[in-house]
Amino acid sequence: MTCARRADRCASRRRSRAKPSGNLRSTSFNACFNAYSDRISGFPLLSVQKILIVRVSSLGDVVHNMPVIADIRRRHPEAQIDWLVEESFVGLVELVSGVRRAVPVSLRRWRKRILSLENWREIGAFRRALAAEHYDLVIDCQGLIKTAWVAKMARGPLVGLANRTDGAGFEWPVRFFYDRRVPIEPRTHVVERTRQLVAAALNDPQPQPGDEIDFGIDTTRAALALSSANLNLPVPYVVFVHATSRADKQWPDTAWIELGQSLVRRGASIVLPWGSESERATSERLAKEFGAAAIVPPKLSLPAVVGLIEGAAATVGVDTGLVHIAAALKRPTVELYNFATAWRTGGYWSPNVVNLGTAGQAPTLQQVKSALAGFGLL
């Protein structure tokens, strides 16, 4: 029986039980995973030369995918690793040490003009270019139909997820694209989910809790990108990340204003980056409350944003990609959550990362001030 069928049968048994206990759920899953481990334990470690990682979006998810590159290089130092990613995130992926080539894909743009003949010509050219490279292994870290579709265009055995993990995207038809599927314990942090998937795909030992989480971001190149923006940044400065695609993830303007004024009184400046015109308007509105101590930069490239965050005394922000960059850099970071999702996406790899808030208990101004006081800023 295949691993995927074992995982499916276990998932079916869990659904059929009325109110299963947490222990039963864990025991049932572990039996499936142990069966999978037994199945591959007799295999020699793969002799891999070329690997294609597929994680196309979104920004935060791309950031959380970065540690797998260091994991691979640790056990397969000669491996050549390419990363298939949305074209808007190519510059960020190119900062990751160990990535030979960031391969741009335009799924977001293609989706907007699906009936265009020119669109399908571009897709055909992309397919031919991707198939021109032979990979020893292709790993779809996202588990969506769109990512499995583009991953299948590459030449090489395709490995992906066998099941959905709590709070993460997964679409079951991907099973028809994959040559091999890896089950993951449902309650797993997004960083660990991908690390476990990649380790299993390579028949490597599973990551351990004490392992270093290395995002591999080249901060020197990021600093160079920031310098090209010709910003006159006073020191110290704190980055405020107020923007998010979801209104229910936001923090009140009144809290941002009082926090910023407290920091300004202590001699800090406030930098408010933005990505869209509406976000720019919010940055400018908040900046007026801080006077000359506020800086609203021009729209920055992602590498320049990395440089900006790396140089900050701290970053405070809502659950969004730029804050996850700050956490990945292991810089002083305060992540603000309005939902019980910090266990799944919050930084746990550095004492410099503080996660505040949960469902029904938004982060308070005093909690944020206390966190910044811990960094010596208030």
The answer, yes or no, to whether residue 7 has pLDDT greater than 80, is no
Q: Which of 201, 229, 255 is the last residue of a domain?
A: 201
- Look at residue 211 and tell me if it is in a domain: no
Q: Taking residues 223-239, report their average pLDDT.
A: 96
Q: Which CATH number is 60's domain given? A: 3.40.50.2000
The answer, yes or no, to whether residue 344 has pLDDT greater than 80, is yes
pLDDT (0 to 100) of residue 48: 73
Instruction: Judge if 137 and 226 occupy the same domain.
Output: no
Distance CA 222, CA 252 (A): 31
Q: Taking residues 1-30, report their average pLDDT.
A: 43
Closest-CA residue to 344 (of 368, 319, 314)? 319
Please answer whether residues 123 and 153 qualify as being in contact, where contact means their C-beta atoms are separated by less than 8 angstroms: no
Residues paired with 295 in a beta bridge:
271
- Look at residue 338 and tell me if it is in a domain: yes
Instruction: Judge if 264 and 357 occupy the same domain.
Output: yes
pLDDT (0 to 100) of residue 8: 46
Domain range holding 314? Answer: 219-374
Which ranges constitute the DSSP H helices of 136-189?
Answer: 145-153
Instruction: Judge if 232 and 337 occupy the same domain.
Output: yes
Distance CA 343, CA 146 (A): 27
The pLDDT tens digits of the residues spanning 174-209 come to 999 999 999 999 999 999 999 999 999 999 999 988
Instruction: Judge if 160 and 195 occupy the same domain.
Output: yes
* DSSP state, residue 42: T
Instruction: Judge if 347 and 288 occupy the same domain.
Output: yes
The bridge status of strand 137-140 relative to strand 50-54 is parallel
Sequence-ordered list of residues with C-beta below 8 angstroms from that of 329, at least 6 positions apart, any chain:
215, 217, 219, 306, 309, 310
Instruction: Judge if 26 and 56 occupy the same domain.
Output: no
Instruction: Judge if 60 and 135 occupy the same domain.
Output: yes
Closest-CA residue to 229 (of 287, 299, 172)? 299
Instruction: Judge if 56 and 166 occupy the same domain.
Output: yes
Instruction: Judge if 142 and 245 occupy the same domain.
Output: no
Distance CA 185, CA 170 (A): 14
Instruction: Judge if 80 and 58 occupy the same domain.
Output: yes
pLDDT (0 to 100) of residue 47: 65
- Look at residue 117 and tell me if it is in a domain: yes
- Look at residue 210 and tell me if it is in a domain: no
Confidence class for position 220, pLDDT limits 50, 70, 90: very high
pLDDT (0 to 100) of residue 244: 84
Please answer whether residues 118 and 137 qualify as being in contact, where contact means their C-beta atoms are separated by less than 8 angstroms: no
Distance CA 161, CA 175 (A): 8
Q: Taking residues 253-273, report their average pLDDT.
A: 98
Total of domains in the chain: 3
Instruction: Judge if 62 and 195 occupy the same domain.
Output: yes
The answer, yes or no, to whether residue 23 has pLDDT greater than 90, is no
pTM: 0.88
Confidence class for position 245, pLDDT limits 50, 70, 90: confident
- Look at residue 103 and tell me if it is in a domain: yes
Of the listed ranges 3-17, 66-80, 109-123, 305-319, the one predicted with least confidence: 3-17
Instruction: Judge if 29 and 105 occupy the same domain.
Output: no
Please answer whether residues 219 and 213 qualify as being in contact, where contact means their C-beta atoms are separated by less than 8 angstroms: no
Chain CA centroid to CA 358, Å: 20
pLDDT (0 to 100) of residue 46: 52
Closest-CA residue to 108 (of 87, 84, 80)? 87
The answer, yes or no, to whether residue 31 has pLDDT greater than 90, is no
The pLDDT tens digits of the residues spanning 146-181 come to 999 999 999 999 999 999 999 999 999 999 999 999
* Per-residue burial over 190-203, b = 16 or more CB atoms within 10 Å of its CB, e = otherwise: bbbbbbbbbbbbbe
Please answer whether residues 110 and 123 qualify as being in contact, where contact means their C-beta atoms are separated by less than 8 angstroms: yes
